[in-house]
């Protein structure tokens, strides 16, 4: 996946950059063993698998639960990987969250329209534009974390 062209409309630009970052994060799990993906590599206890689970929950929180008003299954999601979860199952859940988020974005004709509810208490629901920009920021920040975690795991660098 490549970044969008310079003359692409706003929604396509934001969604294409977000998809690029999402794939960058998912790619960091490629070729790792289950143990490597689960192993916390920093004092906070963050692992690559935890990071992808976090981004799955964030996708559902902002796009489905807050913006679209869907009672999302990840609202009270356990971020620590369970023994039953695998790299494959966590990635599948992430990709499903992304697919659902993208459907919500594509169905929206006005990026200024506010969502149904806010993730933040006592604040008005944000517009889809705000959610998209926030998710670009959130995913980019965690893509950087994933880069570092992967390098600490096996020395792999790059996208």
Question: 1, 20 in Cβ contact below 8 A?
Answer: yes
3-state secondary structure 128-159: HHHHHHHHHHHHHHHHHHHHHHHHHHHCCCCC
pLDDT tens digit sequence for 70-88:
986 665 667 788 889 999 9
pLDDT tens digit sequence for 21-57:
999 999 999 999 999 999 999 999 999 999 999 999 9
Rounded to two decimals, the pTM is 0.92
Q: What is the DSSP letter of 41?
A: -
Domains of the chain by residue range: 10-154
Supply the mean pLDDT for the chain: 92
- CATH 3.50.50.60 matches 10-154: no
* Measured distance CA(72)–CA(58) in Å, rounded: 11
């Amino acid at each position: 996946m490549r970044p969008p062209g310079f003359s692409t409309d706003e929604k396509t630009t934001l969604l294409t950059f977000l998809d690029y970052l999402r794939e960058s994060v998912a790619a960091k799990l490629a070729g790792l063993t289950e143990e490597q993906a689960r192993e916390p590599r920093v004092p906070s206890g963050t692992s690559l698998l935890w990071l992808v689970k976090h981004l799955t929950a964030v996708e559902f929180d902002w796009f489905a639960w807050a913006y679209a008003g869907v009672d999302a299954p990840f609202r009270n999601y356990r971020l620590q990987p369970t023994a039953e979860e695998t790299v494959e199952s966590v990635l599948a859940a992430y990709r499903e969250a992304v697919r659902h988020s993208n459907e919500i974005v594509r169905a929206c004709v006005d990026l200024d329209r506010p969502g149904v509810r806010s993730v933040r208490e006592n604040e008005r629901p944000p517009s889809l534009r705000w959610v998209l920009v926030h998710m670009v920021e959130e995913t980019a920040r965690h893509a950087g974390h994933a880069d570092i975690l992967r390098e600490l795991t096996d020395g792999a660098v790059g996208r």
